[in-house]
Amino acid sequence: MPSKPDAITRLILVLGLGAGASALAGRALDPLVGVIGVEFGQAAATVALLGTAFALPYALVQPVLGPVGDAIGKRRVIRVCLVVLALALAASAAAPDLWTLGLLRVVAGGAAGGVFPLAIATIGDRVPMERRQLALARLLVAGLTGSVLGGALAAVVAPFIGWRGVLLVCAAVALAGLVVLRGEDEPEGGKRLDLGETLVRYGAILRLPAARVLYVAVFLEGTLIFGIFPFVAPIFLERGLAGTSGGLTEAGLAVTAYALGGFVFAALAPLLLRRLGQVHMIRLGGVLGAVALAGLAFAPAAWLGIAACHVLGIGFYMIHSSIQTRVTEVAPQTRGTAVALHAFCFFLGQSVGPVAMGAMRGVLGPEVALLASAGGLVVLAMWLAPRGARPPGR
């Protein structure tokens, strides 16, 4: 287990490029829902399901890839997944219709599901607990860089290269992550994957009360927050806040601002943990996130809606980083499996989110739907906070 700061930093940088590629692939199309809908003649609510098409397979592969990573080596699995991700993204750029694009998003989502969660588990394996939350916060920066690039590509580059060009850029980043990881030795693995033993491990983890709390919390977190992003451009457009791009630029900047909120959290994480501790940080994150969602619902100008998304990013990562850190200690001997269940629940929530938000928008209107998400986030944070700091298994 590396303890020297330079060894930990190198580990984070190597894993971070793959994590950033995975995040970029997941978020790049969110601001482009309106543009894709126009090209294929589909409603925004239908195109928004591309988010579900990516997130659902991301979730469903976790129960398989987590144990495989524990058995044969986490970074070996990450490398294979980056190959598949790059190929799926490149093929998506040539999709002739929405159905084909959706199918390729399913493949890309499944491949991306083997990158970030196993990078988190690798950090859990190789970084001491007293340094782990800060190490994970820095790994999140890599993922956030992918999200920032996703928003920036939509806001700045997409008007020139189109959404198909954006997907080709995503494929190139995935290939770059693969090249970096190819030079890394794999100091783990070599065990045989035993299905029966895997099922026993899942059962043992799910019997831990702390694990169940964390998995329920991360599912609800994914549902409440990530359901909004495919609808950001339509929100700006419907409220008359969009410019000549039809909401594309504003939505891209909103996604970028959300991801930059994660950078702010990563910079403040040492101070927040020292002054507030995990419990109060979770509570503060819930309040900030709720205020941000309410602000997005009633922002009178586009820049205020974009600023609200920035605050939402800060609040989200206050909660999510705490859940993530605790998950790495739920089952130290099988971290890949435990983190895979965490990712399964998180991305299952993300796959439900756009469907739930689309339904609420249709019945209640966008403002009430966002306020409902805000209220749910506060309740979640207050419920989770005292439980999030308990030792695993208690």
Comparing 12-26, 90-104, 110-124, 174-188, the range with the smallest average pLDDT is 174-188
For residue 69, pLDDT beyond 80: no
For residue 393, is it within any domain? Answer: no
- Residue 91 CA to residue 133 CA, distance in Å, equals 37
Residue 80 CB contacts under 8 Å (≥ 6 apart), including other chains: 114
Average pLDDT of the chain is 82
Residue 102: CA count within 13 A, CB half-sphere: 15
**The pLDDT of residue 183:** 58
Q: What is the DSSP string of 295-319?
A: HHHH-SSHHHHHHHHHHHHHHHHHH
Does pLDDT of 133 surpass 60?
A: yes
* Tokens 């190490």 sit on residue: 135
In a domain, 97, yes or no: yes
The whole-number average pLDDT for the span 309-329 is 87
Region 51-80: mean pLDDT is: 82
pLDDT band at 73 (very low <50, low <70, confident <90, very high): confident
pLDDT for res 9: 72
pTM of the model: 0.72
pLDDT at 92 exceeding the cut of 60? yes
* Highest-pLDDT range among 7-21, 261-275, 300-314: 300-314
pLDDT of residue 5: 55
Q: Is residue 99 part of a domain?
A: yes
Which pair of tokens denotes residue 102? 């959706």
Half-sphere exposure of 367 (CA within 13 A, CB side): 6
* Residues 348-361 pLDDT 10s: 888 888 888 888 88
- Does residue 116 belong to any structural domain of this protein? yes
- Report how far apart, in Å, the C-alpha atoms of 62 and of each of 56, 110, 268, 315 are: 10, 9, 31, 26
pLDDT confidence bin for 391, thresholds 50/70/90: very low
Q: Which range is least confidently modeled, 91-95, 99-103, 119-123, 382-386?
A: 119-123
Whose tokens are 């403040």? That residue is 268
Q: Give a yes or no: residue 394 inside a domain.
A: no
The total domain count for the chain is: 1
Residue 392 pLDDT greater than 50, yes or no: no
In a domain, 379, yes or no: yes
pLDDT at 193: 60
Q: Could you tell me the two tokens for 8?
A: 């930990």
Is residue 95 very low, low, confident or very high in pLDDT (cuts 50, 70, 90)?
very high
Question: Does residue 348 sit within a domain?
Answer: yes
What pLDDT sits at residue 279?
87
Share of the chain above pLDDT 70, in %: 88
Average pLDDT of the segment spanning 54-69: 81
Q: Please, what is the Cα angle at 185 between 179 and 188, to 5 degrees?
A: 125
Q: Which residues contact 344 (CB under 8 A, 6 or more apart)?
A: 59, 60, 62, 63
Query: pLDDT tens-digit profile of 277-310?
Result: 888 999 999 999 999 999 998 888 888 999 999 9
Task: Tell me: pLDDT of 62 over 90.
Answer: no
Q: What is the pLDDT of residue 244?
A: 62
Query: Residue range 297-325: average pLDDT?
Result: 89
CA 87 – CA 366 distance, rounded (Å): 36
Taking residues 39-57, report their average pLDDT: 86
* The pLDDT value given to residue 243: 66
The residue segments making up the domain with residue 120 are 5-182+192-388
Return d(Cα 230, Cα 365) in angstroms, integer: 15
DSSP alpha helix (H) spans, the chain? 5-27, 33-40, 44-47, 49-60, 62-72, 74-92, 98-112, 116-126, 129-152, 158-182, 195-206, 209-226, 232-238, 248-275, 277-298, 302-327, 335-364, 366-388
Q: Greatest CA span in the chain, whole angstroms?
A: 58
Region 14-42: mean pLDDT is: 83
pLDDT band at 186 (very low <50, low <70, confident <90, very high): low
- Could you tell me if residue 292 is inside a domain? yes
73-82, 210-219, 235-244, 258-267: range with lowest mean pLDDT: 235-244
Give pLDDT, residue 194: 65
CATH number at residue 221: 1.20.1250.20
The average pLDDT across 110-133 equals 79
